Amino acid sequence: MTHMFSPKRISLMALLLMLGLVSSSLLSTEAFASFSTCRTDPTVRLSDGYTIVMYADISDSISDVHRVDYVLHVPAGVSATHIDYDSTGYLESVTVVADQPDGHGYSDTIVYTGASDVSVTAYSAIEGMVEGQVSGTSGQHLYLRV
């Protein structure tokens, strides 16, 4: 009587099973979505002694961000004494406009991306304290009181 499951036959079946599993995982077409967020955040020092950080969290890769425009409206008579940029500074434009009454100001942030309707959240912070945030999409004016 011949033995149906000889060691040679078991080894061959195990090898075929392993090859089948490996090849099916290599041929898998399942895709996983990726999500990335990048941030731009210039710091503006003002002549009245305040330091304001405006920043935008952008739900996109940095390579798709074309530019970020920040306009900071401050009280009349106040000016920027220094603007610091981080590693994404090459994408950022900051304009300071002294057109507000004493004690008032706001920022206007616009993010330009290659993709349309990219989710953006703009923030402003004075002296390290977050003053507010507003969400929208790329191409929109995002206004915040500072």
Composition of the chain by helix, strand, coil, percent to 5:
20, 45, 35
State residue 117's pLDDT score: 96
Q: Which of 13-27, 60-74, 88-102 has the lowest mean pLDDT?
A: 13-27
Strand partners, 100: 75
- Using one digit for the tens of pLDDT, what is the confidence trace for 18-56? 555 444 444 444 433 445 788 889 999 999 999 999 999
Give the residue numbers spanning the domain of 128: 38-145
Domain assignment present for 138: yes
Number of domains in the chain: 1
33 in a structural domain = no
Predicted confidence (pLDDT) at residue 5 exceeds the cutoff of 80: no
Q: In whole angstroms, what is the distance from residue 77 CA to residue 84 CA?
A: 21
Task: Report how far Cα 117 is from the mean position of its chain's Cα atoms.
Answer: 14
Q: What is the pLDDT of residue 121?
A: 97
Residue 4 lies in a domain: no
Kindly report, residue by residue over 91-139, the tens digit of the pLDDT: 999 999 999 999 999 999 999 999 999 999 999 999 878 789 999 999 9
H or E stretch covering 26: helix 7-26
Residue 100, in any domain of the structure: yes
Give helix then strand counts, H and E, for the chain.
1, 10
**Which residue would you say has higher pLDDT here, 35 or 68?**
68
In a domain, 111, yes or no: yes
**pLDDT value at position 39?**
87
Instruction: Please indicate, yes or no, if residue 14 is contained in any of the structural domains.
Output: no
Count CA atoms within 13 Å of residue 44 on its CB side: 26
Helix, coil or strand: residue 30: coil
Q: What number of other Cβ atoms are within 10 A of residue 93's Cβ?
A: 12
